[in-house]
Amino acid sequence: MRSNRIIDAGWLLSEIVGPKRDSLYAHLRREALICDGHTGDSGEPSVSTSRNASVTERAAMQLYDIRNLEQDLNYLEGEMLLAIRHYAEHQQKVERFRAGGVAPTKPSGMCDQTGKEGAIEWGDPLCPMPAVKGGMCQAHYTAWYRHRKANGIDTSKDYEPA
Ligand SMILES: [Zn+2]
C-alpha cells in the first residue's frame, strides 16, 4: 500500500514547520530592528559621509528583503491552508461519491457548508458540529452571514423556522 503522505506532511507540519513559524517572524523582526539602527531611525546624529550613506542604503535594501521574506511566509501559509481545505473538500466529494449517481449529502443534522458563498474561505468541510441554522453550526452560519455582509450579498431571506 502507498504510504500516507498526508500523515507524513501532518507530522512535518506539527513537529517541524509549525513550531518553527513564530520564531521565524521574531527573527525577521529582530533583523529589521538591526537595520533600523542603520537607516537613521536610531536617533543618533547623522554624519553625512559616503560610508554612512552606503551603510544606510544597504540597510534599506535589507529591510526591503526582510519585508519580502515576511510577506512570502504569510502568503505561503495562506496557500498551504487553502490547499489543505481544497483537499478536505475533495475528500468529502470522494466520500459522497456513489457509482449509482445518487446525489449524496453529509449526514443530515450535521454542519454542511456545501454550495454556500465563499465557503472555501470560511468553511470547514470536516466540521463535526450539529447544524442549527441554514444547515450549519452557529459558528459557520455566522461566518457565512459575515462573508455575505462583507460582499454585499442579500441575507434577508435567511430566516428558517427551527
Ligand atoms: Zn460548522
State the distance from the centre of ligand 1 to the C-alpha of 162, rounded, in angstroms: 17
State the distance from the centre of ligand 1 to the C-alpha of 17, rounded, in angstroms: 27
Q: With a cut of 90, say whether residue 18 has pLDDT above it.
A: yes
pLDDT band (50, 70, 90) for residue 27: very high
State the distance from the centre of ligand 1 to the C-alpha of 128, rounded, in angstroms: 7
State the distance from the centre of ligand 1 to the C-alpha of 49, rounded, in angstroms: 62
* pLDDT tens digits for range 78-124: 999 889 888 888 888 888 778 776 655 566 788 988 889 899 889 98
Report the pLDDT value the prediction gives residue 162, as an integer from 0 to 100. 45
Please give the full DSSP string across the chain, using - where no structure is assigned.
----HHHHHHHIIIIIIHHHHHHHHHHHHHHHHHHHTTTTTT-PPP---HHHHHHHHHHHHHHHHHHHHHHHHHHHHHHHHHHHHHHHHHHHHHHH--TT-----SPTTB---TT-TTHHHH--TT--SBP-BTTB-HHHHHHHHHHHHHTT---TT-----
What residues have CB less than 8 Å from 122, skipping those under 6 apart? 113, 140, 143, 144, 146, 147
State the distance from the centre of ligand 1 to the C-alpha of 116, rounded, in angstroms: 12
- Average pLDDT of the chain to the nearest whole number: 84
Report the pLDDT value the prediction gives residue 42, as an integer from 0 to 100. 46
State the distance from the centre of ligand 1 to the C-alpha of 149, rounded, in angstroms: 18
pTM: 0.54
State the distance from the centre of ligand 1 to the C-alpha of 137, rounded, in angstroms: 4
Q: What do you get for the CA distance between the two ends of the chain, in Å?
A: 47
Q: What is the mean pLDDT of residues 17-38?
A: 92
Q: With a cut of 70, say whether residue 39 has pLDDT above it.
A: no
Report the pLDDT value the prediction gives residue 101, as an integer from 0 to 100. 66
Report the pLDDT value the prediction gives residue 48, as an integer from 0 to 100. 52
Report the pLDDT value the prediction gives residue 69, as an integer from 0 to 100. 97
State the distance from the centre of ligand 1 to the C-alpha of 143, rounded, in angstroms: 9
Q: How many residues does the chain have?
A: 162
Domain ranges, ordered by start, for the chain: 5-96, 105-162
State the distance from the centre of ligand 1 to the C-alpha of 136, rounded, in angstroms: 5
The CA distance from 28 to 19, in Å, is 16
Report the pLDDT value the prediction gives residue 35, as an integer from 0 to 100. 87
State the distance from the centre of ligand 1 to the C-alpha of 132, rounded, in angstroms: 9
Report the pLDDT value the prediction gives residue 91, as an integer from 0 to 100. 84
Report the pLDDT value the prediction gives residue 52, as an integer from 0 to 100. 65
